[in-house]
Chains A and B, each alone.
Chain A
Amino acid sequence: MKALIKDIMAPAVCVIQKFRKETQDTFTLELSPPEEGFSFSPGQFNMLYMYGIGEVPISISGDPADTGRIIHTIRAYGAVTSRMMTLKKQEMIGVRGPFGTHWPIEDLVGRDILLVAGGIGIAPLRPVLFHILSNRTRYGKVLLLYGERTPGDLIFRNQIESWRGRFDLELEVTVDSAREGWRGNVGVVTTLMPRIVLDPSNTAAMLCGPEIMMHYTIQELTKKGLRDDQIYISMERNMRCGIGLCGHCQLGPTFVCKDGPVFLLSKVRHLFRKREL
């Protein structure tokens, strides 16, 4: 049955169980799910409502197998997200969702997986990693490239450290700029490309980050022999409803909230990076 928007426009009120500051401008909220329960697929998002201030689309960054909590990792950009950063444990927030398409992890069993995250783009990709790591034998080689502005902006630091120690996961981190003391790579995410080895016949790539970053990453992947139908991207547009009715998120014929945010690149190649579309 189709959900009725009457219900879908009214948020469920969820209690904040944990508030964790990740970096200076990024934080993670752990919410207890509404009574009806909550489940999602990696790549989907919720509309989060800050009481009296407004609502914003935020991807879900938790483990899809964990139905006991809803996890969002948020970078404070605008009025609503900045106010959300002042939330505390036990306070409440409105949740509508989950909305949108997801990374097709079930269809990619047996494949090598390349994840490329730019900035907060790591958040919607983290559920993919959770899923793969719990089902590790079902996937081939797994590689995560993560680019941030500075070392201080790196999100999920502890987790990344522990993932680094795994032999079944290759992980490369880079920052745009760093002071002394950073021993990792400096440069945009594409500067990591020369050192990675992909099997172009068996790899599926999932990209999430600024469009310009995805654009250059796609160029590099194309050079490495990946076709557009092996690359998934997550798009971002202005969203008001999340359900394909308000029209704000249109990207040509698509509604990013409903037909996206995750798209197979070959399906939207003609729309991607089209100026002022």
Chain B
Amino acid sequence: MTQNPVKLADEVVIDRDDLQQILDVLESDGYQTIGPVIREGVMVYGELKTVFDLPVGWTDEQGPGSYRLKKSDTPTLFGYVVGAQSWKKYLYPSVSRLWRSEREGNGFSVIEEKDQFPAYAFFGARSCEISAISIQDRVFNNDKYSDYNYNEIRRKSFIVAVNCTKPAGTCFCASMDTGPKAFAGFDIALTELLTNKRHFFIAEAGSDRGASVLSRVTFRPVTKDDKALALGVHQAALRQMVRRLNTSNLAAIFSDHFDHPQWEKVSGRCLTCGNCTMVCPTCFCHTIEDKTALDGLYAERWRKWDSCFTKDFSYIHGGSIRASEKSRYRQWLTHKLVTWVEQFGTLGCVGCGRCITWCPVGIDITEEASVIMQAPDGVSPSI
């Protein structure tokens, strides 16, 4: 190749037909590439071998409690946003074995898992999702402990971001300062551009690794016109985002409105199914399960995603601390929007909208928060 190497922060243009080369280079670098694919009518994250595995020409329609994929009339590769799954499925699997143990005489031995972690390339991560990953980076590296598995997978992973050009009805990343355009935490960021004549990507190198990958694919320099086109697309995405969350006084939800009547109201609708916690890319709670073989000679310990919506979650002898549904919804929302800040120095919500889309009854965190931030009817504001 005769082209100059790409350097950190450089932007280059890659034609639609050359995009496959990124996948090829990633593969030759030893990455297992994961990206959006369609399985049984829904968009999930799965193994991506070629650009044709992407949901080419598909778009999505999302609203509270509703998700629909549909064919669009444009051959875009990234014309949809996030689905129910997030990259957390790879960085922090929903179930994982921590160790095995064998009975030996009076005692037992503990055999730690010696996992081989694959190097993943996450192809098509949205800006809000990258923010979610950076939030989980803090969770799994708290002030005292680090999670080995998470950090091993994370350290090796490569991120190809895609800037959103068409937010869904449930997105509110702009309110959370997490998108729609990726601003950090990626190795490569792509903006998909489609005009009457051309279909191409502007690729930005976010790291040296990303620059190295880009250096090995066919590209051409980015022009002023390309940049102007991209800017227009980014601004349009921002304008299209209708949902908002006012983050200016969230602390009051906990400090002043802990007994707000809205908690009771929303709990009348909430099924405490925990869907919102499962789809949320930042939710990290898990349980530890010990299992034994029937003969008692073999035992295992597993870690599994858990949800604060279950009654068992807060159980201590004598009963659950959060026995009422209301208290469990309140725990979830206040954790995301208030107490998370004290714990990790960041909000626990990135505005991806998944909890709104995938809630079977369409409960909307932005609406609930805005009602609860207001003083209840007939009560003078305490703030």
A243 to B284, CA, bound (A): 13
A24 to B288, CA, bound (A): 30
For window 227-246 of A, CB contacts with B under 8 Å fall at 236-238, 240-241, 243-246
A52 to B292, CA, bound (A): 5
Is A55 in contact with B290, judged by CB distance below 8 angstroms? yes
Is A246 in contact with B327, judged by CB distance below 8 angstroms? no
Stretch at the interface among A9-17, A108-116, A176-184: A9-17
A60 to B290, CA, bound (A): 23
Contacts A2-B146, A3-B145, A248-B285; is A9 near B301 (CB within 8 Å)?
Answer: yes
- Asked if B323 is at the interface of the complex by the 8 Å CB criterion, the answer is yes
Closest to B296 in A: A52
Is B316 in contact with A236, judged by CB distance below 8 angstroms? yes
How far does the Cβ of A135 sit from chain B's closest Cβ, in whole Å? Answer: 27
Q: How many residues of B contact A (CB 8 A)?
A: 57
A10 to B112, CA, bound (A): 7
- Asked if B103 is at the interface of the complex by the 8 Å CB criterion, the answer is yes
- Asked if B107 is at the interface of the complex by the 8 Å CB criterion, the answer is yes
Is A77 in contact with B107, judged by CB distance below 8 angstroms? no
- Asked if A187 is at the interface of the complex by the 8 Å CB criterion, the answer is no
Stretch at the interface among A37-45, A141-149, A188-196, A252-260: A252-260
- Pull 29 A–B residue pairs with CB atoms less than 8 Å apart, ordered by A: A4-B146, A5-B145, A5-B146, A5-B147, A6-B112, A9-B303, A10-B99, A13-B109, A49-B290, A51-B103, A51-B108, A78-B317, A94-B110, A236-B316, A237-B316, A238-B313, A238-B314, A240-B286, A240-B288, A241-B286, A243-B144, A247-B285, A247-B308, A253-B343, A255-B343, A274-B258, A276-B321, A276-B324, A277-B331
Q: List the interface of chain B (C-beta within 8 A of A).
A: 98-99, 101, 103, 106-110, 112, 139-149, 254-255, 258, 284-288, 290-292, 296, 299, 301, 303, 306, 308, 313-317, 321-324, 326-327, 330-331, 335, 338-339, 341-343
Q: List the interface of chain A (C-beta within 8 A of B).
A: 2-11, 13, 15, 49, 51-55, 77-78, 90-92, 94, 236-238, 240-241, 243-248, 250, 252-253, 255, 258, 270, 274-277
A-B residue pairs, 5 tightest by C-beta: A6-B148, A52-B292, A92-B107, A247-B285, A276-B327
